[in-house]
Amino acid sequence: MRQKIDGHYYTYHWTTPYQKDRPTLLCLHGFTGTGQTFSCLKDVDAYNILILDLIGHGSSAAPQLGKYYQFDYVLSIIDNFLNSLSLTKVDVLGYSMGARTALGFTLDYPEKVNQLIMESGTPGIECPKERQKRQKQDHQLAEEIEHQGIEAFVDSWERLPLFATQNDLPALRRIAIRNERLAQKKVGLANSLRFMGTGVMPNYWPRLKELLHKRVVLIVGTKDEKFSQIAMNMKIFQPTIQVVTVKHAGHCIHLEQPDKFISIINQMAGE
């Protein structure tokens, strides 16, 4: 299904028919992904699962102008998207880039979010020098995508240590993930890096205190040391945050340990 918002079409779908007596979980994918990454959630029986392709990804629009990828604008699009479906309040799940987006949406539109689930996410970069460094890296990567093409970028992306644990997935699943990445558009990925990357997103660390009365669950894999540490630091900063650690998983828990991930999601719906 498609919804036109501010002149651009966004693709979304329900994994099962909508039922009024169930809460709705809005799912936001990561960089180079699409809503298809959450296909395992079709087995969740406690939520209406609503999956959205973010700007520049999947079958959603991939405009040339960078303003359509700016973080605050993307958050406003999600708000308008929920309004278009007459959804006044949802739970939100985000993975990686989607987790950053989900956090921003929860902070800027708290009246729209009941519970927040962040899978392998971060509140941003606090140090100004580190932010500038990350911005430069993302801009260079964006240029590589534009000049070398999607396939060369995906080859390099898949070699990152962050995704090494995905090498243990069944061959057919790895092929599906790769095809999902290869189907992206150059302009969409490049603009996402430039205008939605970790280096340019707002620094949400000081705002974590605003989540005091909101249920927030961070899901991380034991093999993902970087994001496991980020999750623990977030809990130190805001003790009401819950951290759920999944064994035998790296950065992408919903792909590497789907049964455990589904169990966590179902439990969230019942609380």
Please determine, for residue 270, whether its predicted confidence score (pLDDT) is greater than 80.
no
Q: Which residue has the tokens 């430039």?
A: 194
- How confident is the model over 174-197, as a mean pLDDT? 97
Residue-wise pLDDT tens digits, 53-75: 999 999 999 999 999 999 999 99
Counting every residue written for the chain, the total comes to 271
For the whole model, what pTM was predicted? 0.98
DSSP β-ladder status, 113-119 and 8-14: unpaired
DSSP secondary-structure letter at 53? P
Q: Which residue has the tokens 């629009």?
A: 61
Nearest to 55 by CA among 83, 85, 75, 25: 75
Q: Which residue has the tokens 């927030």?
A: 216
CA 56 and chain centroid, separation: 13
C-alpha 212/C-alpha 220 separation (Å) is: 21
Residue-wise pLDDT tens digits, 211-229: 999 999 999 999 999 999 9
Residue-wise pLDDT tens digits, 221-264: 999 999 999 999 999 999 999 999 999 999 999 999 999 999 99
Residue-wise pLDDT tens digits, 153-173: 999 999 999 999 999 999 999
Could you write out the DSSP letters of every residue in 196-264?
Answer: HSTTTS---GGGGGGGTTSEEEEEEETT-HHHHHHHHHHHHHSTT-EEEEETT--S-HHHHSHHHHHHH
pLDDT of residue 269: 86
pLDDT of residue 55: 98
| Helix-strand-coil split of the chain, %, nearest 5 | 50, 15, 30
Identify the CATH number of the domain defined by range 2-124+201-268. Answer: 3.40.50.1820
What are the CA-CA distances from residue 147 to residues 28, 31, 151, 153, 234 (Å)? 28, 19, 11, 10, 37
Phi, psi of 89 (to 5 degrees): -155, 135
Confidence class for position 98, pLDDT limits 50, 70, 90: very high
C-alpha 53/C-alpha 239 separation (Å) is: 32
Confidence class for position 17, pLDDT limits 50, 70, 90: confident
> How far apart, in Å, do the first and last CA atoms of the chain sit?
30
